[in-house]
A and B are shown apart, each in its own frame.
Chain A
Amino acid sequence: ETGVTQSPTHLIKTRGQQVTLRCSSQSGHNTVSWYQQALGQGPQFIFQYYREEENGRGNFPPRFSGLQFPNYSSELNVNALELDDSALYLCASSSRTSGSEQYFGPGTRLTVT
């Protein structure tokens, strides 16, 4: 069984640019959630996708957007990057059979300069 994978591992962008992060969910999982973890903090919920539709959103501005594809993989897009967007972005997948348990990927470390 393949776990959750994320790409790229690390990314450096300049303020004002746009970035796309990718996540492949664990086999059989149809729900993907994205979290932002600033240095020294706990992860913060960005949004969740279920069956290609947004299914809940945290307190993040509209320049954070996402997609989920028919194979349940997902993208997180961030426009007009700001310095405070520098963080570890974590993707978690789950399914009806996993219930409330979410399985996390290794994350993408984004640095905005």
Chain B
Amino acid sequence: AQKVTQAQTEISVVEKEDVTLDCVYETRDTTYYLFWYKQPPSGELVFLIRRNSFDEQNEISGRYSWNFQKSTSSFNFTITASQVVDSAVYFCALSEAYTGTASKLTFGTGTRLQVTL
């Protein structure tokens, strides 16, 4: 069975601080995908990144960066120079390898990030 753990329930930072959201996962699959989604108060899940289990290179996109470490089953997400607009709930998710149709996503319980001025 797949499982995703986001141990941090809530994080509060002051604008311009860096913040890291932790994600630890469990799976018996050798091939899988990892995702991060952002859920603002409006409720819609916004896709941020997908990472294939074969690709352990870290990725940077603007102020966002992701650190994937297969050895520790972790896929952490860092926001550099946080902004108030980053305030949201962030979900880490795991799915089986793509087999022609998108596999079900297993989500963590989310981390609520509050960025204040």
Binding site for B on A (CB under 8 A): 31, 33, 35, 40-45, 48, 50, 55-56, 58, 88, 90, 92, 94, 96, 98-107, 109
Contact B101 A55 (CB under 8 A): yes
Q: How far is the CB of A2 from chain B (nearest CB, A)?
A: 14
A45 touches B105 (CB 8 A): yes
Size bracket, chain B contacts: 20 to 34
Task: Output the least CB separation between B24 and chain A (Å).
Answer: 14
Which residue of the partner chain B has the closest CB to A31?
B101
Report yes or no: B101 in contact with A48, Cβ–Cβ below 8 A: yes
Check A31–B107 contact: CB distance below 8 A. no
Evaluate whether A101 and B102 lie within 8 angstroms (CB atoms) in the complex, with A107-B43, A107-B44 already known.
Answer: yes
- Separation of A38 and B33 alpha carbons in the complex (Å): 24
Question: Once the chains bind, are A56 and B104 in contact (CB under 8 Å)?
Answer: yes
Q: Given A101-B47, A101-B50, A107-B44, are A45 and B102 also a contact pair (CB < 8 Å)?
A: no
Q: A58-B104, A94-B101, A99-B102 are in contact. Are A42 and B91 (CB under 8 A)?
A: yes
B8 at the interface (CB under 8 A from A): no
How many A-B contacts at CB < 8 Å in the complex?
A: 71
Q: Measuring CB to CB, which residues of chain B are less than 8 angstroms from any residue of chain A? A: 4, 33, 37, 42-47, 50, 91, 93, 95, 97-98, 100-110
The secondary structure that dominates the B interface is loop
A sample of 23 inter-chain contacts (CB < 8 A) reads A31-B101, A33-B102, A35-B105, A41-B109, A42-B91, A42-B93, A42-B108, A43-B107, A44-B107, A48-B104, A56-B103, A90-B43, A92-B45, A94-B102, A100-B33, A100-B95, A100-B97, A100-B102, A101-B47, A106-B43, A107-B43, A107-B44, A109-B43
A7 to chain B, nearest CB (A): 14
The CA-CA distance from A42 to B43 in the complex, in Å, is 12
| Bound-complex Cα distance A96 to B46 (A) | 20
